[in-house]
Amino acid sequence: MNAVAPDQPVEGTTTDHPALDAGRPEGGARPPAQPLLSIRDLEVTFRTQHGSTAAVRGASFDVMPGETVAIVGESGSGKSTTAMAVIGLLAQNGKVTGGTIRFDGTDVAALGGAGVARMRGSQIGMVPQDPMSNLNPVMRVGAQIVEALEDNGVARGGAARRRAVALLEEAGLPDAEHRAAQYPHEFSGGMRQRALIAMGLSCRPKLLIADEPTSALDVTVQRTILDRLEALTAELGTAVLLITHDLGLAAERAQRIVVMYRGEVVEQGPATQILTQPQHEYTRRLLAAAPSLASRRIQLAKHSGAGAALVQEDLLALSSDESDVTTDAIIEVKDVSKVFRLRGKGLLSRGTDFTAVDGVSFTIPRGKTVAIVGESGSGKSTVARMMLDLTAPTSGSILFNGVAVGGADRAAEVRFRRQVQPIFQDPYASLDPLYTIYRTIEEPLRAHGYGTASERRARVLELMSDVALTPDLLRRYPAELSGGQRQRVAIARALALNPDLVVCDEAVSALDVIVQSQILHLLADLQHRLGLSYLFISHDLAVVRQIADHVCVMERGRIVEQGSADDVFDHPQQEYTRMLLDAIPGRDLELSLRAG
C-alpha cells in the first residue's frame, strides 16, 4: 500500500459560527500532524436475505484539515458506503462491525445516534450525487437551505432567509434572491447542484463529502461546479472527501487518492504518484479505462511524435484518416430544422416558437462513426430522434440509403425500423423490468416475424455471444444484472435485426469507467466485424476522442464546427469547441503515455 501523508499538513481554520468551533483546542490551533478524519480498519456489513455481506473490509486512510482526498473505484467498490459510515447514514440493514472512525479527535461511534446527527451538517457537510432526488420537489430551494440553517442553529427567521440568498450567490447562482423562491424543477441540473453545494457548505463545515457531485453533468458545467466548489472550500479551509469513479477527475482535483476495490483499499498516495507509478493492477485498469486520461495520452502521443502505436492503444475508431473515408453515405441530413411550440403561461395566451435544431447538415459514411457533441440543450438528442423517425423535422430532409425518412409508405417505414436501431442512455429505463433477458432480445425478432421459435432462440444465443454474455443470464430479469450487463443486453437487442445504422444516444454516460471502456471496445469490435455505422451522441469529448471518425459540434441548435476527429481535437476553429475541449478533466495533467 502506498499510504503517504501530505508533506505539509494544512492547519485548521476558524469560522464565524461559534458552535462549529466547539471542541477545538484552546487558542484555535490544531496540532499540525493530527488528521481531521482518521479511518482505521473499517468494516461495514449489510444483512441480506442470503446472509451477511461485507461491503467494506479493513479500510484505513486519513484526511488532513483543508486537504482534498478522492476515493476512486467502480460501483460496488465500497467508496460511497465508507462515506455514509462516516456520517451515520448507512441503510437500515447496514452496520459498522469493526474498526474506528475518528473525526476531529472524537470517536464517531461513541457519539451515538443523536451525537452523529448533531455533527452531520454542522461539522460535516454533504453534496450528494443526484440533485433531483436529494432536493424536496414541493419545497422552494431557499426554504430548504433555511431549514438546514435553522436545524443546525446557525440562523433563524429573516436572518436565515438572507443567509440562504447569500449562500446561493456564493455558489455562483445569478439572481439568487429570485432563484431562492423557485422550486427544484425550475432549475437546470447545474443549478440544482450549485444549490446542493450551497446547502452542504451552509454551516461552514470542517469536512465536505462530495459523492459523485458532477457525474450527470456536461463537461463545461462539471468544470464550473468543481471550480466553484474548490474556490469555496479553499476560502473556508474546508477539507473535501471526493467520491468518484473517474481517476482523471480525481487526479485533477485531489491532493491524494485512495483506490478501493471490492470493499478494500488497494492503493493510496499522492495523486501524481498514483498517475505515474500505480502499484496495483486494479489502479492500472482504472488508468487505462478513464476516458479523460486516454484522451490526454492520445494528445501527448501525437504532439510528442510517439507514433501511431501508442495512439492506437487508446483510439477505438478504426481510422481517422480522411483518405480512408468512403463517399458512400448511409444517411444524409440536409438543412434540417425542428421548431417546437411552447405553451403560454395563461389559459388563453398564445404560445411561442422555440427552435431546437436550426439548419443542421451532415452525412454518415457507411461503416464509420460520426459523433455529435455539445452541452445539454444544444439539440443533439433532437437530431437523433429525427434520424430515428421518432420526431418529424419542421423543415429539411433526412435520406437513408437515398430514401426519405418519414414517408407515408408503410412498407418503407418497416424496412427503416429494421435497419436503424437505437441504444439509449439509461439501461435501467430502456429495458422492460417484467421481461426476461431472453424475451427482451427476442422481442424485435418476434415483432418483425423473424423465423421460427427455434430459429429465434438460435439468433438470441448468437447475439448473447456477440456481446460477451453467457446463456445462463437469459432467464434473469434486468434488475438481476449489473449496469454494464444491462447495456450489453440493450446492444444485443439493437443488433437483433442486423441493422446498418445504430444511434447511440449517450449510450455509455451512465456507466463506470471500466464498464464504459468495455462497452466502447465492444462497439468498435462489432463495427469492425459487422460493418456497422454509428451516430454517437455524447457530451463527453474524452469518450468521443476515442471512438469517432468524424465530429460535429453543436451549440444552440446549430452545427458550429465539424471535421475529422483529429482536426477538431487538434485544431479547433471555434471558441465554443475550445471551451468544450478545455473542460475535459485531466487535460493539463502530466502523465506517462502508457496507462501504467
Per-residue pLDDT tens digits for 501-520: 999 988 887 677 888 888 88
Of these ranges, 350-354, 374-378, 434-438, 504-508, the one predicted with the greatest mean pLDDT is 434-438
Q: Please tell me the distance from the alpha carbon of residue 285 to that of residue 262, in angstroms, as a whole number.
A: 14
- Span between the terminal Cα atoms of the chain, in Å: 17
| Mean pLDDT confidence for 284-307 | 70
Predicted pLDDT of residue 25: 43
Lowest mean pLDDT among 16-20, 250-254, 291-295, 520-524: 16-20
- Residue 449's contacts (CB-CB under 8 Å, 6 or more residues apart) are none
- Cross-sheet strand order for the sheet of 352-365: 352-365, 329-342, 395-400, 403-404
| 323: DSSP letter | G
Q: How does residue 575 score in pLDDT terms, banded at 50, 70 and 90? A: very high
Of 436, 478, 477, 479, give the one whose Cα is nearest residue 457: 436
| Nearest one of 298, 320, 423 to 368, comparing CA atoms | 320
CA distance 430 to 463: 18
What is this structure's pTM?
Answer: 0.77
For residue 75, the Cα-to-chain-centroid distance in whole angstroms is 12
Burial 124-134 (b: 16+ CB within 10 A, else e): bbbbbbebeeb
C-alpha cell belonging to residue 335: 438543412
- What mean pLDDT do residues 101-105 have? 93
- Mean predicted confidence (pLDDT) in 45-71: 91
Q: How confident is the model at residue 302 (pLDDT cuts 50, 70, 90)?
A: low
Average pLDDT over residues 163-182: 89
290-342+360-401+500-596, what's its fold?
Rossmann fold (3.40.50)
The answer for residues whose C-beta is within 8 angstroms of residue 319's C-beta and 6 or more apart is 325, 549
Torsion of CA 78, 83, 85, 88, to 10 degrees: -150
- Start-end of CATH 3.40.50.300 domains in the chain: 1-123+206-280, 290-342+360-401+500-596
> Hey, what's the cell of 162?
438572507
CA distance linking residue 492 with residue 423, whole number of Å = 10
Task: Give the pLDDT band (50/70/90) at residue 99.
Answer: very high
Task: Say whether pLDDT at 307 is over 80.
Answer: no
How much is the average pLDDT of 107-124? 84
- Compute the Cα dihedral for 242, 243, 246, 251 and give only its sign: positive
The CATH superfamily holding the domain 1-123+206-280 is P-loop containing nucleotide triphosphate hydrolases (3.40.50.300)
Write down the mean pLDDT value for the chain.
Answer: 83
Task: Report the C-alpha gap between 126 and 121 in whole angstroms.
Answer: 7
Any idea what DSSP says for residue 163?
Answer: H
As a whole number of Å, the CA-based R_g of the chain is 26
Can you tell me whether residue 57 is helix, strand or coil? strand
Is residue 588 very low, low, confident or very high in pLDDT (cuts 50, 70, 90)? low
Residue-by-residue DSSP string for 407-463: -S-HHHHHHHHHHEEEE-S-TTTSS-TTS-HHHHHHHHHHHTT-S-HHHHHHHHHHH
For the stretch 355-409, pLDDT in tens is 999 999 999 999 999 999 988 778 888 999 999 999 999 999 999 988 888 876 7
The full DSSP string for 268-318 is EEEHHHHHHS--SHHHHHHHHH-HHHHHHHHHHHHHHT--HHHHHHH--SS
3-class secondary-structure state, position 552: strand
Per-state percent for the chain, helix, strand, coil, to nearest 5: 40, 25, 35
Quickly tell me which residue has 468512403 as its cell. Answer: 326
CA neighbor of 237 nearest in space, from 21, 84, 7:
21
Taking Cα atoms as reference points, which of 353, 169, 299, 188 lies closest to residue 569? Answer: 299
